[in-house]
Chain A
C-alpha cells in the first residue's frame, strides 16, 4: 500500500517556527514593551549587608525627589499582612523586611515614580540604617552548634531546614562492605544563575471594576494566579495573569519574587498601572539561584566492574528560606534518579538542607528538579571507578547499562523507567567521534607528556512531571491541558496551560495538532499565557510541556476525531462504525474514495450536524501522565590541556540524545545546542561565590561569565529514537537533557587528561588556575 501523503507541518517535519515572524522584526511583545497610559515605574532599594537589623528607614528625602510618588516599606506591607509570603516549598519569605535583612541584595523598600529615572533617583534618596549581624555563608558552619540562628522568626533553634532520605540504608551499607572496589568522591556543585537575557519584571494594573491584570515574566501563569488569590484574598476571577513573550526562562521565572507582589500593591494603592523591571544586578543577587549541593557519593563494584551499591550524603544550601520549586512531596527534587543508567541493587540517598545568609532558590538552571546534580555525581563516579579499576570508562558503562529488554525498569530508589537503549546511544556516540582512534592518540600523547582527555556521560533524565498521585505544587496536581477548537472553515485555535519561553510551542503544538487532525499547520494557531483564556495548567519547566500538554493536545484531537467520525458518517450516510480515521481523513472502511476531511466535518459541525448532536467541534483535555518520561543520551567530550597554563580547550563534543518521538527535528536540535551550552557554562565558567561577609562576588556579567560564541564548543549532535510507551505520541521532552548530561562529560574529560597526576576531582567551574594547581600541586601559586 502506498504511504499516506504527509500532512503539511505534521510530526517529524523541520518546519520554520511560527513565532519567528514577530521576533526577527523586533515585534515581540515582552513585559518591558507593555506601555499603558499613565503608567508609573517602580524601583527597588536593596540591602548592602548580608545580615543586618534595620534600625531606621526614612522616606522623607525620597518623597521630595521630583517625580517620586510613593515609597513602600515592610511596615506598609505588614499593615496589610503582606510583609511575608509563602514559598512554593511551604516555607516563608519576606516580601519586604520589617526588621532584619537576610542576604545582600534583598529588597528593602520600593519607590514608585513617574518614570524609571525618577524611581531610581528616589531609591538613591531612601535612608536606611543597618546594624550588621553575624553572617553565615557556609552551610557546614551553619549547622555547627555555635552558628547564629537565622530564622528565629520561625522559632528555629538551629539552621537545619529538613532531612530527607530514601533507599535501604542497612542493605547499602552491607553491599558496599561486600564490594570488591569502592570509590568515594566529594563533589561541590556551586551556586549558579540562569540569567535569561531578559530579567524579571511585571506591569500591574487595576481597572475600575477592581480587576487586577498583571503582565508578568512567568513560566506558570495559572499557578501564579492561584498563589496571588490565596495571598491577597482577591477573587481568582478578578485576577488576570498575562505571560507575554518571555525572553528566556530556564526555571528562573517560576517563583513569585517580591518585586511582583510589591508592584501589585503599588498598583492597588496608586490606582495607576505600575511597571517593575529588574536590573541585572538585582537579577543576579536576589532571584533564585540553582544548585549549591555539597555531595559525598560512593559506589561499589564487584571485581568485574559490575556496580553493586550507591550511597550519597548531601548538604543543600538553600539560602535564608527554602524557596525551591520542587513538587511538594520532593524536597530534594528528583535527586534519587541518581542511580542513573545502571542497575544498582542497593542504594541509599540522604539530603539535609541548611539556611544561610544567601538569596533563596534551589530552583532551576534548565533543570528544576535536581536531576543535573544526580547525573553529575553518578557519571563522575563511574569514570572514577573506571580509572581505579584500570578499565576503559566506555567499557565499564557497557558492562553495566540496564539492557533494553529490562524496561520498564524499576530502580533501587523506586523510579520506573519507561524505555531506553543506553548501549545503543553510547555506541553511536563512540562511532561518531571515533573513540578508539582518540584513545590511541591519547596514549601516544601521554608518552610525549601531552595532556588530552576523553570524557563520557551516559545520562538518564526524568521529566514530564507528573502523575497526580505523587506530583503536586502547593497541592495543585501537575497535569497540563489543551483546549482545541475547530472553527467552521476548518481552522484551529488551540490554547494550552503551559507557556513557551523560546521553546517554540506555537509551532510544536500546532504540528501535533496538524498530525492528529489532518489540518495543515498553517491553519492552526496556538495561544498560551493568558489566564483569562487558556485552560488551567501548571506551566512550562523541567521539560514537561511535550510530555504533558503535548499529550493533552493529542488526546483532545482524538476526542474531536470521535465526534468527527459521527459527523462524517452522517455526511457519507453510513454508520459511524463504518468510519475509520486513515491517511488524515475520515474514510468508509474499505472504500477509501468515500471520505471526508476534517475541514468538511468542521463545516458540517456548524452547518449540517446530525439531529440531536451538539453543534461545534472542540475538546479540552487535562492530561494526567501515567508515569514520568525518561529521556537519555550519551555524550563524549575531548579536551586538550595546556600544561603550562592549565587552559582547557574542548576540541570536540558529540551529543547523542534520545527524547523518544521527535515532533520538529530542527527545534529539538536547537534545544540540545542551547542545553549543551548551559551544561558547558557551569562546567567551565559560571559560579556565584560569596565572601565571608556574604558579599556576592558575581553581581554582574563582568564577574558572572556567560559563554559567548567564542568560548562555546562547536557542538555535534545526533539522535536515537526510543519512544515512550506511555505517551500518546511516544515523545519524552528534551529541553533540559543536554544541560543535565553535559557537565559530567566535560569534567570527566579533564579528570581523564589528568590521570598521570592521579587527580580524581576538580570542582566545577574548571578554571585554568584550578587545573594548573592540580598539575603543579595544590600548594603551588
Chain B
C-alpha cells in the first residue's frame, strides 16, 4: 500500500488545519487539510480524482456519491476530516487490473448514461445497492437509486444496467473488482 504525503493546505481559511489519514481507492494518504474542507473538494482538488462530481451542494442530486467504508455517502455534505481513518472508494477505484467493474460494464452496455455527469455517483450507489441486495427487483433498484438524480436517461436504462451488473456478479461471484 503506497503512502502519499501532502503537506500544504491550499486556501486561506482562518480555520485550523488538521492532519488526516484516509485510504482512497486502496492508497493511504496523509494530508493536512482545513477543518472545513469538504470531502468532495478534497477528492477532486487535492487528490485530483475528478470523477466525483458536484451537482447541488445540498445532498439532493447524488452526483458526489462515494463509498465510505462501503456505505454510499454524499461527499458534498461530509468534511474531509470526517473520513480520517476511513476508507473511501470513488469511481476511479471501480476498474481493477484493467477490468471494468460489472456495474461500469452494465452502464455502457445498456446505455445507462448520456452526459455522464451523474454517472459516477449513480454507479457508486449501484455498487452499494448490489452489495446489499445482489438480486434486486426493478422497484428495489428504483428505490435504491432514488438519492441520485439523472436528467438525461429517464432511469429506464440505468435500471437495466444495474440488472445487467447484478446478473453478471451472480454468475461470477468471485470475479470482477
Q: Which residues of A contact B (CB under 8 A)?
A: 16-17, 19-28, 30, 32-33, 35, 65-68, 113-118, 121, 194-199, 245-250, 277, 279-281, 501-504, 666-667, 669-670, 673-678, 700-702, 706, 708-710, 712, 714-715
Bound Cα distance A90, B174 (Å): 63
Chain B residues with CB below 8 A from A248, complex form: 114-115, 117, 151-152
Q: Are B12 and A670 in contact (CB under 8 A)?
A: no
Q: Are A674 and B104 in contact (CB under 8 A)?
A: no
Q: Are A26 and B12 in contact (CB under 8 A)?
A: no
Bound Cα distance A395, B90 (Å): 54
Chain A residues with CB below 8 A from B48, complex form: 35
In the complex, the chain B residue whose C-beta lies closest to that of A501 is B115
- A117-B36, A248-B151, A709-B145 given; A26·B14 CB < 8 A: no
> B159 an interface residue at 8 Å Cβ cutoff?
yes
B113-132 vs A, CB cutoff 8 Å, 1 = contact: the mask equals 11111111001000000000
Contact check: which of A26, A198, A281, A503 meets B50 at CB < 8 Å? A26
Chain A residues with CB below 8 A from B154, complex form: 673-677, 712, 715
Chain A residues with CB below 8 A from B92, complex form: 25-26
Chain B residues with CB below 8 A from A28, complex form: 51, 116-117
Contact check: which of A247, A280, A666, A714 meets B58 at CB < 8 Å? A280
CB distance from A742 to the nearest CB of B (A): 10
> B52 an interface residue at 8 Å Cβ cutoff?
yes
Chain B residues with CB below 8 A from A19, complex form: 116
Q: Which of B64-115 contact A (CB under 8 A)?
A: 90-92, 94-95, 100, 104, 107-109, 111, 113-115
Chain B residues with CB below 8 A from A715, complex form: 154, 156
Contact check: which of A32, A66, A245 meets B116 at CB < 8 Å? A245
Bound Cα distance A25, B14 (Å): 36
Chain B residues with CB below 8 A from A24, complex form: 91, 100, 104, 107-108, 113, 116, 119, 123
Q: Are A709 and B50 in contact (CB under 8 A)?
A: no
Q: Are B115 and A117 in contact (CB under 8 A)?
A: no
CB distance from B75 to the nearest CB of A (A): 13
Q: Are A115 and B12 in contact (CB under 8 A)?
A: yes
Bound Cα distance A33, B116 (Å): 13
Q: Are B11 and A118 in contact (CB under 8 A)?
A: yes
Contact check: which of A277, A280, A673 meets B56 at CB < 8 Å? A280
| New contact pairs (16) apart from A23-B113, A670-B114, CB-CB < 8 Å | A16-B109, A25-B91, A32-B53, A117-B13, A117-B34, A117-B36, A194-B151, A197-B53, A245-B116, A247-B116, A248-B117, A280-B56, A673-B155, A700-B58, A706-B149, A706-B151
CB distance from A677 to the nearest CB of B (A): 4
Chain A residues with CB below 8 A from B54, complex form: 32, 277
Q: Is the interface of A mostly helix, strand, loop or mixed?
A: loop
B27-70 vs A, CB cutoff 8 Å, 1 = contact: the mask equals 00000001011000100110011111111111011010000000
> B143 an interface residue at 8 Å Cβ cutoff?
yes
Q: Are B90 and A26 in contact (CB under 8 A)?
A: yes
Sort A-B residue pairs by CB-CB distance and give the 5 closest, nearest first: A26-B51, A67-B12, A502-B115, A247-B117, A23-B116
In the complex, the chain A residue whose C-beta lies closest to that of B113 is A23
Chain B residues with CB below 8 A from A30, complex form: 50, 53, 117
Q: How many residues of B contact A (CB 8 A)?
A: 64
Q: Are B41 and A197 in contact (CB under 8 A)?
A: no
> B169 an interface residue at 8 Å Cβ cutoff?
no
- A115-B12, A670-B153 given; A710·B146 CB < 8 A: yes
Chain A residues with CB below 8 A from B34, complex form: 117
Chain B residues with CB below 8 A from A66, complex form: 12-14
Q: Are B155 and A677 in contact (CB under 8 A)?
A: yes
CB distance from B61 to the nearest CB of A (A): 6
> B157 an interface residue at 8 Å Cβ cutoff?
yes
Chain A residues with CB below 8 A from B116, complex form: 19-20, 22-24, 28, 245, 247, 502
Bound Cα distance A677, B158 (Å): 13
Chain B residues with CB below 8 A from A26, complex form: 49-52, 90-92, 120
> B22 an interface residue at 8 Å Cβ cutoff?
no
Bound Cα distance A673, B156 (Å): 7
7 A-B residue pairings within 8 Å (CB atoms): A20-B113, A25-B95, A28-B117, A197-B117, A673-B154, A701-B58, A701-B149
Q: Are B114 and A674 in contact (CB under 8 A)?
A: yes
Contact check: which of A32, A194, A666 meets B111 at CB < 8 Å? A666
B1-25 vs A, CB cutoff 8 Å, 1 = contact: the mask equals 0000000001111100000000000
Chain A residues with CB below 8 A from B109, complex form: 16
> B142 an interface residue at 8 Å Cβ cutoff?
yes
Contact check: which of A65, A115, A196 meets B115 at CB < 8 Å? A196
In the complex, the chain A residue whose C-beta lies closest to that of B106 is A24
Chain B residues with CB below 8 A from A676, complex form: 154
Bound Cα distance A669, B150 (Å): 16
In the complex, the chain B residue whose C-beta lies closest to that of A677 is B154
Bound Cα distance A277, B11 (Å): 17
In the complex, the chain B residue whose C-beta lies closest to that of A710 is B146
CB distance from A120 to the nearest CB of B (A): 10
Bound Cα distance A247, B116 (Å): 7
- A195-B151, A702-B60 given; A23·B119 CB < 8 A: yes
Q: Are A710 and B114 in contact (CB under 8 A)?
A: no
Bound Cα distance A245, B113 (Å): 13
- A65-B12, A502-B114, A677-B155 given; A25·B150 CB < 8 A: no
Most buried by A among B63, B108, B114: B114
CB distance from A653 to the nearest CB of B (A): 11
Q: Are A504 and B114 in contact (CB under 8 A)?
A: yes
Q: Are B63 and A710 in contact (CB under 8 A)?
A: no
Chain A residues with CB below 8 A from B142, complex form: 708-710, 712
CB distance from A543 to the nearest CB of B (A): 15
- A24-B104, A198-B55, A701-B56 given; A118·B115 CB < 8 A: no
CB distance from B3 to the nearest CB of A (A): 23
Q: Are A246 and B115 in contact (CB under 8 A)?
A: yes
Contact check: which of A501, A669, A700 meets B60 at CB < 8 Å? A700
Chain B residues with CB below 8 A from A247, complex form: 53, 55, 115-118
Bound Cα distance A709, B146 (Å): 6
- A114-B12, A674-B153, A709-B155 given; A197·B61 CB < 8 A: yes
CB distance from A671 to the nearest CB of B (A): 8
Chain A residues with CB below 8 A from B60, complex form: 700-702
Chain B residues with CB below 8 A from A675, complex form: 154
Chain A residues with CB below 8 A from B13, complex form: 66-67, 117-118, 121
Chain B residues with CB below 8 A from A701, complex form: 56, 58, 60-61, 149
Bound Cα distance A502, B119 (Å): 11
Q: Are A118 and B146 in contact (CB under 8 A)?
A: no
Q: Are A118 and B12 in contact (CB under 8 A)?
A: yes
Bound Cα distance A32, B14 (Å): 25
CB distance from A528 to the nearest CB of B (A): 14
Bound Cα distance A711, B154 (Å): 10
